[in-house]
Structure 1
Amino acid sequence: MTTATEHVALLAPPAIFLTSIVIAIVRLTRRRLAWWIPLVGAVAGLGVWFAAAALMSLSAGQ
């Protein structure tokens, strides 16, 4: 049985990474600076993953 935090840990980081890549491509086509967007997306994706992993470990009582 999977929990909601497992779904968040598995699905949210790739969604955040893909969203940041799409936003960066759109900004590049508009000739704006976009180098920082994938970096922010990577940090946000890792943050969401670590938060979900912490919630999973708390719910398991470890």
Structure 2
Amino acid sequence: MKAEELRKKSDGDLDQELEALYKEQFGLRMQKSVGQLARPDRVGKVRREIAQIKTLMNERRRAG
């Protein structure tokens, strides 16, 4: 997801998106441990999206 799309979302939507990404990240870790990871590139993308959302949330908290 692009940063512009994330900035348009409300705080509640970002929280939901973050929770869904954490669940997906957990599932990917479990798949990797069992050796059934179909898309290894997705692990990095999920981590990047989590970081983008957390950064945006911190920016909003500091702004006011």
TM-score, L = length of structure 2? 0.51
Q: 1:36: Cα distance to partner?
A: 0.6
What amino acid is aligned across from residue 18 of structure 1 in structure 2? Answer: K
Runs of 4+, deviation exceeding 6 Å:
none
Alignment of 1:42-61 (within 5 A): 42-59=47-64
Task: State the partner residue of 1:41.
Answer: 46
Aligned length: 47
Distance 2:25 2:42 in 1: 6
| Residues 1-44 of structure 1: per-residue CA shift (max 9 Å, x gap) | xxx57x93xx82x541321443x44xx75xx7411111000000
* Structure possessing the higher radius of gyration over alpha carbons: 1
Q: Which runs of 5+ in 1 are unaligned?
A: none
Identity %: 2
